Amino acid sequence: MHYNTSLTPIAALLDFIVPGITTTLSLSQYSKGPLPSGQSPRNKSKLQQKALRPNQPSKYKSNPLTSQSNSNAPIQFSSNLVDALQTNTETDSSRAKSLELQIQARVAQELERLREREQQTLAEIEKRLAEAKDSAPAAPSSTPNITYPAGSLNLDAPRIPFAGREYESTPAPTVAADQPINRDLSRESVNAEIEQLRAKLEGRRKLVEVDENVERARNEVVTCLRLHDRRPLDCWKEVEGFKREVARLEEAFVDRVVG
């Protein structure tokens, strides 16, 4: 053990007995000197305590933040919902296809119902005509008693009048005894009317021949557009010429009709 020879004999003895007292006695000897300027005894004692306890850790340490956000927490779904989503194989396309099939089935059902109604109506009309032909020699006042099923078309039912016209119930014309139904004659008359209408329509189809200048201007526009298919605005001259020819033709037509 090293002894400090610069201390007093009592201090050396105490240093031999109790380790660590040498530093205190040294500080006490050092404290006998005059205080520096601007330093109080309290500050000096604090310095001594700091020298006795060097590098002492502080009691209060900053605790790290323990709060954590729950944004990464898993979302729980019910087992029924998961099972329903897994077992459901329907997609948007299949749903649209099923809806289209339902609409087509409904339309087909309505068409079939209308077709049956039409056939029933035609059968009733043919039946009435046959009964009227058979009962022609009888008295005109005798009318057959016919019952119609629910939902069928009754020929004797009153018709809905047109808007703005007065409806007067007129009795159905009775077939005279001396005038039997001639279906061949009625068919021939209908065919004659059809031929007349066809002739009128064919006469209306004849149009006025287009002027040569208008036809030439139209061909020039078509040719220019085919050549400049990527730059159609380059054909503005041909378009203006075609417009002038059409305007001239319209003026001539108006003058011919009005004059």
Res 98: pLDDT: 86
Total domains in the fold of the chain: 3
Residue 175 lies in a domain: no
> Could you give phi then psi for residue 229, rounded to 5 degrees?
-70, -25
Which of residues 107, 136, 165 is at a domain's end?
A: 136
Which of residues 105, 136, 167 is at a domain's end?
A: 136
Ordered per-residue pLDDT tens for the chain, 259 residues: 454 555 566 656 665 655 555 555 555 554 445 555 555 555 556 655 655 554 555 555 555 555 555 667 777 888 888 888 788 777 878 888 888 889 988 998 999 999 999 999 998 998 888 888 877 655 445 555 555 555 555 555 544 444 444 444 555 555 444 555 555 557 778 888 888 888 887 766 555 567 788 889 999 999 999 998 888 889 999 999 999 999 998 888 888 888 6
Residue 80 lies in a domain: no
Residue 217 lies in a domain: yes
Residue 172 lies in a domain: no
Residue 99 lies in a domain: yes
Which of residues 136, 163, 194 is at a domain's end?
A: 136
- CA dist 1 and 183 (Å) reads 153
The answer to whether the CB of 245 falls within 8 A of the CB of 213 is yes
Provide the whole-model pTM.
0.24
CA angle 79, 83, 84 (to 5 degrees): 115
Closest Cα to residue 128, out of 99, 151, 148, 114? Answer: 148
> Would you give the DSSP letter of residue 179?
-
Residue 240 lies in a domain: yes
Domain of 10 in residue numbering reads as 1-32+44-53
Residue 129 lies in a domain: yes
User: CB-hemisphere CA count at 13 Å for 19?
Assistant: 2
Q: Which residues contact 91 (CB under 8 A, 6 or more apart)?
A: none
Residue 159 lies in a domain: no
Res 134: pLDDT: 79
